[in-house]
Amino acid sequence: MAMGRDYQSQLEPLITAAEMFPALERLCLKTRDELLMSFRVLDPMTRLRSEEAAELGLNTWADLIAHMADQGVKIRLLIADFDPIFTADLHQDAWRCARQFGQRQAPGTEVLCAPHEGKSAPLWKRIFASKLHEKVEELKRYTAEQLTPLQYRALQGDVTMRPASIHQKFAISDGTDAVIGGIDVNERRYDDEDHEGKPEETWHDVSLKVRGLAVQDLRQHFSDCWERAIRAGAASFGEEATALTENEPTETRRRLDSGPRLLRTQSNAGTGRWRIGPTPLIMEHEQAHEAAFESAGRLVYIETQFFRHIPLAKSLARAAESSPRLELILVIPTEPERIIFGGDDGVDARHAQALQLRCLTILRKAFGDRLAVVSPAQPRPAPDGTPMPLHGAGIVYLHSKVTLVDDQIGIVGSANLNGRSMRWDTEASLQFYGEKHVRGLRDRLMATWLRGAEKRMDPTRAVEWMKLAKVESEKKPEDRKAYILPWPEERNRRFARPLPILPPEMF
């Protein structure tokens, strides 16, 4: 593969799938030699949105990948697999997507459907025996055509619990350009900044288009994940999986580079009679967040699907105590998607919310009125039958993973602020620096939620956010302009139930 020689760092934020999907398509279409993609969900039936794809007569991601293979591009797709028993539908869908990509491709295309290598110790099969039995009985309701080989084995008693996953989402073109962030590729994720669809069709996410040395580090990370997947026996649906060639050395240039840097989370399979999950190996996300919080002096702005990692809550609390002027603005969804739209009220869902409430309690005690916790909602009445509306409005589902500290440090990628993303799952993000990129992204995101109010207030003050959110909550939904409302703490407290037997890294 011909590696690029332009090492100048470039960074461009992509807000929602309306920006990310076309950018990702263009990234793939400009590839000449090698295309690498690692996604939690990559559905071949997802419609294409770019003008460039339309001009070529391509309609779906299956068409696009087949077209690139026909052009002689070497393609490797790493699609995340899921526990075949506890997440049967996700597992079946992952195999469907991998199979459909594999069936369409020209020679030179490799497709792996890869589980995380971490497994629970056999002891936990006994502890969860009744739940396992229940899930295996549910598998019997599927048709033979729906079941995968791993599910057939589970029906025969061969059960392996896999509590972690490959959660990262990125694509690399020719080792020089990449798109990385929190969003996967399917129709459910497609939305724009107006969020005018039904609440269950909304999806706010953030990705980055990047060029520079960080892309070569990301390629090396993909290579490592690819080889680990092969060793772990990932299901192959294309040509026989082969190792990648090594990157050219870049350490000398990297020492002089002030551009974005790669952050990773990786874990090993782990050993020990009591292990329920993998053993943390690389915790760059946790370390980078703690270091960034320690340096914070004026403002931390966070968008995250979950805030459940107590070490990060304590790190922020220490920063609040050492910097009396420090403000924290936290934008989170009202509840997880599986609770709002899936109706999940199981013990694990309740424990997860209890963890988040504990983190928020730590933050409230440390920050006081220097903390804003808000949730996005549509400025219109919720349609009849909308699940879990907020002050009469349908929610906007927030899935982004963004941390911005002062005007100097930014982190965007796949990692939520929970134990899974910090220590167990495989994750990839970019950390970047400087007022141009950090403040530029923060101003853009604030404008997305405040809708003009940022011009009449100090948007760096948490108390101003809470005041606005409260005022908006007292209006009729159709009279609101801003997209933020107070996070519904009381209904979350009624729902939450701690279950201390389970490790927080599961959540």
pLDDT in tens, 198-240: 999 999 999 999 999 999 999 999 999 999 999 989 999 988 8
pLDDT at residue 105, rounded to an integer = 73
DSSP per residue over 232-252, as a string? TT-EE-SSPP-PPPPPPP-HH
Residues 407 and 301 reside in one and the same domain: yes
Read off the pLDDT band of 107 (50, 70, 90): confident
The residues that bridge with 297 in the sheet, in sequence order, are none
Residue 280 belongs to domain spanning: 260-506
- The residue that leads in pLDDT, 455 or 271, is 455
> Which whole number is the average pLDDT over 81-88?
92
What pLDDT score was predicted for residue 257?
A: 61
**Count of domains in the chain?**
2
pLDDT value at position 30?
A: 98
Q: How many CB atoms lie within 10 A of CB 283?
A: 18
Which residue, of 236, 251, 286, is where some domain finishes?
A: 236
pLDDT recorded at residue 250: 55
Co-location of 204 and 279 in the same domain = no
Q: Are residues 232 and 109 in the same domain?
A: yes
- The residue from 236, 268, 294 where one domain ends is 236
Contact 121, 83 (CB under 8 A): no
Look at residue 264 and tell me whether its pLDDT is greater than 50: yes
**What residues contact 447, with CB distance under 8 A and at least 6 apart?**
454
- Identify any residues that bridge with 428 across adjacent strands, giving them in sequence order: 264
Residues contacting 450, CB < 8 A, separation 6+: 457, 459, 468, 482, 483, 484
Per DSSP, 371 falls in state E
pLDDT at position 1 over 50: no
Same domain, 410 and 469: yes
Residue 125 predicted with pLDDT over 90: no
423 and 282, same domain (yes or no) = yes
Asked which of 236, 251, 269 is the last residue of a domain, the reply is 236
pLDDT digits (tens, 9 = 90+) for 232-248: 899 999 888 999 987 76
The mean per-residue pLDDT over the stretch 162-178 comes to 95
DSSP string, 141-173: TS-TTT--HHHHHHHTT--------B---EEEE
Q: pTM for the full model?
A: 0.95
Instruction: Compute the C-alpha angle 462/466/467, nearest 5°.
Output: 115
Dihedral angle computed from the Cα positions of residues 134, 81, 166 and 359, in that order, rounded to the nearest 10 degrees: -30
Shared domain for 230 and 370, answered yes or no, is no
> Same domain, yes or no, for 200 and 345?
no
3-state secondary structure 102-140: HHHCCCCEEEEEECCCCCCCCHHHHHCHHHHHHHHHHHC
In a domain, 106, yes or no: yes
Tell whether 147 is covered by a domain. no
Q: Is 253 inside a domain boundary?
A: no
Least confident of 134-138, 440-444, 474-478: 134-138
The model's confidence at residue 4, banded by pLDDT at 50, 70 and 90, is: very low
- In the chain, the percentage of residues whose pLDDT exceeds 90 is 79
Q: What is the pLDDT of residue 116?
A: 93
Q: What is the pLDDT of residues 60-81, one digit of tens each?
A: 999 999 999 999 999 999 999 9
321, 191: one domain: no
Least confident of 16-20, 76-80, 274-278, 479-483: 274-278
Cβ proximity of 75 and 69 under 8 Å: yes
Contact in structure between 300 and 404 (CB atoms under 8 Å): yes
In a domain, 438, yes or no: yes
pLDDT of 251: 56
Residues 232 and 315 reside in one and the same domain: no
pLDDT reported for residue 252 = 45
Task: Tell me whether residue 254 is in a domain.
Answer: no
CA distance 450 to 376: 10
What CATH number did the domain enclosing 363 receive? 3.30.870.10
* pLDDT in the model for residue 132: 84
Q: What is the pLDDT of residue 3?
A: 37
The pLDDT of residue 248 is 61
Tell me: the pLDDT tens digits for 406-427? 999 999 999 999 999 999 999 9
Same domain, 208 and 282: no
Contact residues for 15 (Cβ-Cβ < 8 A; gap 6+): 193, 205, 206, 444, 445, 448
User: Each residue of 277-330: pLDDT tens digit?
Assistant: 889 999 999 999 999 999 999 999 999 999 999 999 999 999 999 999 999 999
pLDDT over 70 percentage in the chain: 96
* Residue 249 pLDDT grade (very low, low, confident, very high; cuts 50, 70, 90): low
Residue 157: inside a domain, yes or no? no
Residue range 98-102: mean pLDDT, rounded: 94
342-389 per-position pLDDT tens digit: 999 999 999 999 999 999 999 999 999 999 999 999 999 999 999 999
Q: Is residue 217 part of a domain?
A: yes
Question: What is the mean predicted confidence (pLDDT) over 460-481?
Answer: 98
442 and 379, same structural domain?
Answer: yes
Helix 129-139 × helix 88-104 angle, to 10°: 50
- Does residue 228 share a domain with residue 266? no
Identify the pLDDT of residue 271: 74
pLDDT, residue 254, reads 53
pLDDT at residue 178 above 70?
yes
Do the domain assignments include residue 150? no
